[in-house]
Amino acid sequence: MIKSRRPRKADVFSLIIENRTLFHNTGALIYCDENGKTTGTTDVFDRIDAYRKHFIEVGLGADYVENFIR
């Protein structure tokens, strides 16, 4: 079952397929403390590296992540 709705201006688009959700964001995520000071960042390259490590750990191999990159 696919649920979706047409995004309005300034919406974040999400697509829900069964119990999985795909969030589409662009750019880096910047983590801040309660005073607004940057405490860390992550971007698409950090996410790819994390998935690559996960796929190695579960036996799928480092190149498996390439299936999800266009």
Q: What is the pTM of this model?
A: 0.54
Q: 28-61, pLDDT tens digit by residue? A: 888 999 999 999 998 888 988 999 999 999 999 9
At residue 6 the predicted structure's pLDDT band, cuts being 50, 70 and 90, is low
The domain 2-68 is placed in CATH, from the list 1.10.150.20, 2.60.120.10, 3.30.1390.10, 3.40.50.970, at 2.60.120.10
Higher per-residue confidence, 52 vs 4: 52
Residue 35 is predicted with a pLDDT of 92
45-67 burial by CB neighbour count: b if 16+ within 10 A, else e? Answer: eeeeeebbeebeeeeeeeeebee
Residue 15 confidence (pLDDT) above 90:
no
What span, in angstroms and rounded, lies between the C-alpha atoms of 15 and 59? 28
- Check: CB of residue 21 under 8 Å from CB of residue 15: yes
Q: What are phi and psi of 30, to 5 degrees?
A: -115, 120
